Amino acid sequence: MAFQNLCFKLRPVCSSHVTTKTMSIHPHPSLEVTGGAREPFLPALSSLGDRPYTPFPIIGWNCHVETIFAAFFRSQPDVRLKRECLRTKDDGSVALDWVAGDHQRLPPDSPLLILLPGLTGGSQDTYVRHMLVRARRKGWRAVVFNSRGCGESPVTTSQFYSASFLGDMHEVVIHVASRYPKANLYAAGWSLGANILVRYLGQESHDCRLSGAVSLCNPFNLVIADEDFHKGFNNVYDKALASALCRIFKKHALLFEDMDGEYNIPLAANAKSVREFDEGLTRVSFGFKSVDDYYSNSSSSDSIKHVRIPLLCIQADNDPIAPSRGIPREDIKANPNCLLIVTPKGGHLGWVAGAEAPLGAPWTDPVVMDFLEHLERGSSEASASRSDLKDVQQSSEGLHQLEL
């Protein structure tokens, strides 16, 4: 009887599969889809189908119209958040915004998604809120990482965040992992948040605690992005972002009194461009010789070759802030962990297209969740396979002890 029970335990292992069966996907020629991970990951992106990328009429035909429309008119889902302030090792502070009630509602092993907004952005941004809602509907736990001074996060030292500084990201991942040790961790970042995320992935490389990540509207090469930032209508975005940085700075101006050395506090406080703010404060705070030195050494384009976890990058070919020519296409193609999707339109943080256009979620959101859920299914199946293998090993040991 014991021998029959042993055989019954062994049978399920023979039929288990680590990979999920998916249909063949042939993306429409309007989309540029490439990368070393194209073959394994593309079949999971069922929301791509074979349909062309179709921007919403009029709004989606011009990159500036689309960028501004999305920023001012996209709907903002009502999501109740609970804030956790995390004190960092250097006495700085960042704010983590969790969806209220999820701690009780979701099991502790629910997949967890860390969201990194763009420059001066936070949990109030519409694109962040839409992703929160979508992740929650899928049973995921999500948390917004508001950088120092962003999303009303407190500033407690004379050091802001920057594209070069990865210390806060490192501490947030460790903290979140300690809160939910049974959960698989993932991250998605937009714009400068995407740049920081990809640099983090490259730095951590084989030791990365994340199981997968998504980068959207990543400027990648900050030198190229800075060049384009001062051309034509792009000056409008430059002044708007500089104004937002100055507002954050002035709220905490007392922290910067009597700063000596190369700091130029008046320049930072009254900056008319992001470059001026970085010249007066950021590059000095983080030890760079010049703004160009800061931009060159803070670009995530050089990090792609070191990424060792699944990474989906989504860019718009007409993005006025994250130029298409800055995308490290060759490194993405050479990396077996990376997949790149470039849409013909989309602007910056726009992507006013798809079923929910023009006021709803960006076109990218279903693609992002397809990718992340595929990774989570694969992780769950791998865990189940390891569990079955352990049962086999234990049963095999018992078989040797049987006396016939």
Q: Cα separation of 326 and 198, whole Å?
A: 14
Contact 186, 107 (CB under 8 A): no
Q: Are strands 81-87 and 93-99 parallel, antiparallel or unpaired?
A: antiparallel
Q: Which of 309, 274, 305, 279 is nearest to 292 (CA)?
A: 279
Nearest 5°: CA angle at 134, between 49 and 95? 135
Contact 182, 209 (CB under 8 A): no
Q: Which of 203, 196, 243 is nearest to 219 (CA)?
A: 196
Q: Cα separation of 96 and 144, whole Å?
A: 6
**Which amino acid does the sequence have at 258?**
D
Residue 158, token pair as written in the block: 């004379």
The residue annotated as part of the active site, out of 168, 226, 319, 370, is 319
Contact 192, 165 (CB under 8 A): no
379 Cβ partners below 8 Å, 6+ apart? 184, 211
| Helical (H) or strand (E) element with 212 | strand 210-216
Active site residue 348: yes
Using DSSP's 3-state secondary structure scheme, residue 286 falls into coil
The residue annotated as part of the active site, out of 238, 331, 348, 370, is 348
Q: Per DSSP, what are the bridge partners of residue 141?
A: 112
Q: Directed axis angle between helix 222-229 and helix 234-251, to 10°?
A: 110
Active site residue 400: no
The residue annotated as part of the active site, out of 147, 162, 191, 303, is 191
Using DSSP's 3-state secondary structure scheme, residue 370 falls into helix
Residue 183, token pair as written in the block: 């959960």
Active site residue 191: yes
- Cis peptide bond upstream of 219, omega within 30: no
Tell me the CB-side half-sphere exposure of residue 335, using CA atoms within 13 A: 24
1 Cβ partners below 8 Å, 6+ apart? none
Q: Which of 88, 89, 100, 97 is nearest to 115 (CA)?
A: 97
Which residues are marked as active site? Answer: 191, 319, 348
